[in-house]
Amino acid sequence: MGVWTMRELIALVAGHGITEFEWEHKKDRMRIRRGGTDTSTARPAAPVPETAPVTPAPDSTPPVSPPSPAEAVSPPPGPTREQPPPAPPPDKDGTSAPANVEEITSPMVGTFFARARPDAPAFVEKGETVEPGQTLCIVEAMKLMNEIQSEKNCRIVDILVEDGESVEYGQPLILVEPL
């Protein structure tokens, strides 16, 4: 088995969160195990030798006097009330979005694509009405294209991400208004 094959297998196991993987082909055999050690084969740790206690050197800085009542920090106020949710963000043109706006968020870290190909039209445009199952965008992760589809009838209020921009898990991509 070549080094590159081993590296690819290790990357595959690590990338998919697999905890144990065993591969065998003819005379080649490889076992990858991630996570904690197997308790049946674990050896106890070597005893730690005792050391003499360390005493700090005398401090040459003068002692600090406690703050006067005027300098004392007041304790935090009583329990805080939850703040009301922030108002919906204004659209790019400066107008405020409707109150019943919902966010379509990225299900993974990747690259946002508003169109299937660079020369193709965008899947959706601002103001457009979409139906359940209609593709809104693509988030590409590890060369896999993941279509993000509408779950309900809605109107596109705003597209928050530029085509080709990197996105994080949970990042709002598109604002929609359910119909």
Average pLDDT, rounded, for the chain: 75
Contact 150, 133 (CB under 8 A): yes
Whether residue 94 has pLDDT greater than 60: no
Answer with the residue of higher pLDDT: 97 or 155. 155
- Per-residue pLDDT band at 128 (split at 50, 70, 90): very high
Contact 98, 87 (CB under 8 A): no
62-88 pLDDT, tens digit each: 555 555 555 555 555 544 444 444 555
Interval 142-164 mean pLDDT: 94
- Per-residue pLDDT band at 134 (split at 50, 70, 90): very high
Instruction: State residue 80's pLDDT score.
Output: 46
Instruction: State residue 78's pLDDT score.
Output: 47
Would the pTM of this model clear 0.85, i.e. be above it? no
Domains located in the chain, CATH noted: 3-33 (no CATH), 102-178 (2.40.50.100)
Contacts of 22 (CB under 8 A, 6+ apart): 29, 30, 31, 32
